[in-house]
Amino acid sequence: MNGNEEYMLTSYTLPNGVELKNRLVMAPMTNFSSNPDGTVTEAEVNYYARRSKGVSMVVTACTYVTPNGKGFHGEFGGDKDEMIPSLKQVADAIKGQGAKAVLQIFHGGRMCPPALVPNGEIVSASDVPAERGGVSTEEPDLKPRALTESEVQEMIRSFGETTRRAIEAGYDGVEIHGANGYLIQQFFSPHSNKREDQFGGSLEKRMTFPLAIVDEVKRVVKEHATSPFIVGYRFSPEEPETPGITMGDTLKLVDELADKGLDYLHVSLQDFHSTAKRAVEDTNKKRIDYLLETINNRVPLIGVGSIYTAEDARKAFESGVPLLALGRELIIDPDWVQKVAEGKEADIVTKIDKTKQEELVVPDPLWAAIVNTPGWFPGV
């Protein structure tokens, strides 16, 4: 174990005083493996337990905060109190292996399949169909319905209510999912938000909904948590659509978020070293570098994106990012962190072994998605 690896494995204290045993986190990844009623399956619980021993913190797959927010088949729910025992199973599995358990809270907005939401009615900031990756791409005539102002206020409260359920279920924190084109991002994006009320229009008004959710979640934590409770926020830095979120827009949002008393920000990237594309002076400069400059040590940033080897992680930490999330790599090799700690980085597996589903403890729906999606995972 060399000095860089020791840094990777050193403890880190979040702003609220919670100590992480190392700087490596399991990234949130959809696993498609819950029951149709939104309760978790045994296979899903075992999947989390298998990956929670080495990392300091596990961010779960997203859980929907209202019935009309369900974005995936096999997504687990946090939309009513009856879900608390189900949510607790995942928290207990993660914490039982020594990691902090963080529930990612979410609404799919215009990306929800109509079959999964009440009356097939999808909602968003405005009635603008998605251009890519959403239901409206497959069904061009399908427009989301714009939420009314009172429904927006109710939605903000729903994020707070799911936070309360996370506290009652024994989680160590929540991560607000403001990334990947889902509802919170839809309010921030000039592509999907054409509103003319307090929640839309200028860049500042498009920040209103995301920031209101942060405020509500923090209010609920203050009211209900009896010990320090982690609150994080995940965001995507840019959108390809025109108009769409630019790197310049995101830096303004991040500047606001950095003063909100959050415990971390978590950027969503496919490639950790990707460069900024729009509304910045230097498009050869890495997004991570822009973000770290803007944050200026006010809040920890979790980096992520195609980190497979220990060397990949070392290079990422050289950027100055204090925490790093591993996603697909922890499905490929759940013992990644332990291998680094034991000086066995040469034994780290970086391509999925299609003969080892049982050994890797991957539920059938997730395994089917992996092996049937060429290019998603190395080795497929």
pLDDT value, residue 142: 82
What range defines the domain where residue 154 resides?
3-351
pLDDT value, residue 6: 84
Is 358 inside a domain boundary?
no
**Is it true that the peptide bond before 243 is cis, omega within 30 degrees of 0?**
yes
Is 370 inside a domain boundary?
no
Is 56 inside a domain boundary?
yes
Structural domains in the chain (count): 1
- Give the burial string for 334-353 (b: 16+ CB within 10 Å, else e): bbbbebbbeeebeebbeebe
Within 8 A by CB and 6+ apart from 31, the residues are: 44, 47, 61, 74, 363, 365, 366
Is 83 inside a domain boundary?
yes
Q: Give the residues across from 234 on adjacent strands.
A: 177, 266
Strands (E) located in 48-164: 57-64, 100-106, 123-124, 145-146
Is 380 inside a domain boundary?
no
Quote the crossing angle between the two packed helices 208-224 and 247-257, to the nearest 10°.
30
Is 277 inside a domain boundary?
yes
Q: What token pair was written down for 33?
A: 């493996």
CA–CA gap between residue 124 and residue 113 (Å, rounded): 13
Within 8 A by CB and 6+ apart from 213, the residues are: 156, 159, 176, 178, 184
Q: Are 229 and 16 in contact (CB under 8 A)?
A: yes
Would the CA dihedral through 169, 171, 173, 178 be positive or negative?
negative
pLDDT value, residue 139: 74
Known active-site residue 290? no
Query: Where is 91: in which H helix or E strand?
Result: helix 84-95
At position 194, the amino acid (one-letter code) is K
Quote the crossing angle between the two packed helices 42-51 and 84-95, to the nearest 10°.
30
CA–CA gap between residue 332 and residue 377 (Å, rounded): 8
pLDDT value, residue 5: 60
Of 182, 264, 290, 308, which one is the catalytic site residue? 182
Q: What is the CATH number of the domain that holds 140?
A: 3.20.20.70
Is 371 inside a domain boundary?
no
At position 72, the amino acid (one-letter code) is F
3-state secondary structure of 263: coil
Question: What residues in the chain have per-residue pLDDT under 70?
Answer: 1-5, 136-137, 140-141
Is 61 inside a domain boundary?
yes
pLDDT value, residue 295: 98
